[in-house]
Structure 1
Amino acid sequence: MVEKQKVEEHYRSDALMDRLQAALSDAGLGDGNLTIEQLAPLDQFHSRGLLATAELAKALSPRANERVLDIGSGLGGPSRYLAATYGCVVAGIDLSESFVSAATYLAGRAGLDEMVAYQKGDALALPFDDEEFDIAWTQHVAMNIADRAEFYSEASRILRPSGRLAVYDVLAGGGGPLVYPVPWSKTSEGSCLLTQDAMKSHLANAGLEIISWKDRTDAALAWFQALHKQQAAQPALPVGLDLAMGPEFKIATANLARNLDEGRAVLIEAVAVKRKVTG
């Protein structure tokens, strides 16, 4: 089992706010409102970035004023996209206090602080009432969670009947053990990938019926290839994911691409609906 403390340590980013504000200033973004597109290289903390968020949202079909819980909200990119694009009201939780502070700051800079809010929280003990949300959203979070049954049970608990769970995660492939480090873990001790069949079983046991299941592995590989070319032409972006995770993050990202290419992992986008209780 992956201890919560170890996960927090992996994502801890000391002095993140100071580095974030300095990087934005150096990029000419020190003042004024920031757009979703300007922030996307920094705050879309998953493979395929903003494109993956937009595709998952399209599969989900959110409606204005629906309440969304972003589980593992990171720097808040997806939550702000849902608020700005669809008019959703979003709560985000994350184990990292520094991520919560940075996400709150960026929401203010994007003019969305009345539609999104963030707090420190545990995905296995969500600090919300039963049936409080219309949508639960999670991207590249479950790979650190060993107790996947409890993870999906908690997501189901906070959903209203017919509420939807949106998932974008890395799963185990059949090509052998992962090559480390990867973005979510330096070693195998911090990684908890499920097979597709195991994930489907856990969702069903939590009362969640899959209505969409798409393999995005090939699309991710094409994206990684384009990213590699971009990095070769422009080695350092003014604001990027390495701002939060450090320069070694590029190695971890390259290993993820290798794992996907060699069939050691797959990338899945899924939407599930909470079944109504009858009788």
Structure 2
Amino acid sequence: MPNRINEAIQTHYASRDIGSVILAALEQAGKDLNHLTPEDLAPIDEFHIRGRTATLELAHVADLNAHMRVLDVGSGIGGTSRCLAKEFGCRVTGIDLTDEYCRAATTLTAKVGLSDLVDYHQGDATSLPFNDGVFDTVWTEHVSMNIPDKPRLYKEMYRVLKPGGTLAIYDILAGPFGPVLFPVPWARTPDTSFLVTPNELRDLLVDAGFTISNWTDTTEIARTWFVALAEKIRKNGFPPLGFHILLGSDFQEMAQNQGRNLQEGRIMLGQVVATK
């Protein structure tokens, strides 16, 4: 069963030669491909609600610094890992289930001159290909929704952290007024969606051995952000560079559903920091 789920998830996210598609869109948007910056990639890079702003908020709460080795679980096309490396100088390793995303992440990271600080591996978050106790921080944004075996996920995160290390999470959680309306950006059908409630996430983290040090419900600010985004798309259409490039023609329906899921309390957003 897990293999079938993994295959379905990869099918959902995979897009043929997405790196070249993104570079073509950047060129269309007037960017010089020989002098790209992480900021140029920002509209497509941070594939989660509130984008780079949410990443930087979590990074400050997690006290990231240049001496840290960070594991980005579910690194996608590499936006978060590049942001953390550039803004904080930390060494970041990304792991993602989708091979095509890892290839695109490697290409884009080289284009913005960050290959010395960031590398990527294809792999399963519930079976991390790393030794025990090697990372100062394990980081994950909008990833666990696709992972059914959450006890194993958080135990693996705990295992690869150094003693005293930090787990930084920004995730979509099940709201009190579900069920979720599909399709959404992380799943076209309920078959690959595995949300937990905030209380269930607390229990999972404690059972894995973590001590929760910070928990912020960011649902309300996410609602405001999404309303503004939907209005912008309604007035101006999709920009040359945006998440629709990653998910294709049904992204508009996904975005509409995501907005409704937020507005109607079907999903919640949680920013969580825990320690080993």
Same fold judged by TM-score > 0.5?
Answer: yes
Contact 2:19–2:105 (CA<8 Å) still a contact in 1?
no
Instruction: Find the counterpart in structure 2 of residue 18 from structure 1.
Output: 20
TM alignment of 1:1-279, pairs within 5 A: 3-274=5-276
- Looking at structure 1, the residues matched to 113 and 236 of structure 2 have their Cα atoms a distance apart, in angstroms, of 30
SS of aligned partner of 2:67: coil
The TM-score normalised by the length of structure 2 is 0.96
- Looking at structure 2, the residues matched to 121 and 33 of structure 1 have their Cα atoms a distance apart, in angstroms, of 31
Q: What displacement does 1:35 show?
A: 2.2
The root-mean-square deviation of aligned C-alpha atoms, in Å, is 1.2
Deviations 1:130-159 (A, max 9, x none): 001000000000001111000000000000
- Looking at structure 2, the residues matched to 236 and 227 of structure 1 have their Cα atoms a distance apart, in angstroms, of 10
After the TM superposition, which parts of structure 1 deviate over 3 Å for at least 4 consecutive aligned residues? none
- The residue type equivalent to 2:24 in the other structure is A
Between stretches 253-262 and 107-116, larger displacement belongs to: 253-262
Deviations 1:243-268 (A, max 9, x none): 11112112112211211111111010
SS of aligned partner of 1:156: helix
Contact 2:77–2:102 (CA<8 Å) still a contact in 1?
yes
Deviations 1:96-129 (A, max 9, x none): 1111111111111111010000111110110100
Contact 1:130–1:158 (CA<8 Å) still a contact in 2?
yes
- The residue type equivalent to 1:182 in the other structure is V
The TM-score normalised by the length of structure 1 is 0.95
Structure 2 gap segments, 5+ residues each: none
- Looking at structure 2, the residues matched to 195 and 226 of structure 1 have their Cα atoms a distance apart, in angstroms, of 26
- Looking at structure 1, the residues matched to 272 and 203 of structure 2 have their Cα atoms a distance apart, in angstroms, of 13
Q: What displacement does 1:21 show?
A: 2.0
Deviations 1:192-229 (A, max 9, x none): 00011111011001111111101111110110111122
Between stretches 32-41 and 212-221, larger displacement belongs to: 32-41
The count of corresponding residues between Structure 1 and Structure 2 is: 274
- The residue type equivalent to 2:237 in the other structure is P
Q: What displacement does 1:10 show?
A: 0.9
- Looking at structure 2, the residues matched to 31 and 47 of structure 1 have their Cα atoms a distance apart, in angstroms, of 27
SS of aligned partner of 1:240: coil
- Looking at structure 1, the residues matched to 60 and 256 of structure 2 have their Cα atoms a distance apart, in angstroms, of 28
Structure 1 gap segments, 5+ residues each: 275-279
Aligned residues with identical type, % of pairs: 44
- Looking at structure 2, the residues matched to 112 and 231 of structure 1 have their Cα atoms a distance apart, in angstroms, of 31
- The residue type equivalent to 2:16 in the other structure is D
Q: What displacement does 1:26 show?
A: 1.1
Contact 1:21–1:30 (CA<8 Å) still a contact in 2?
no
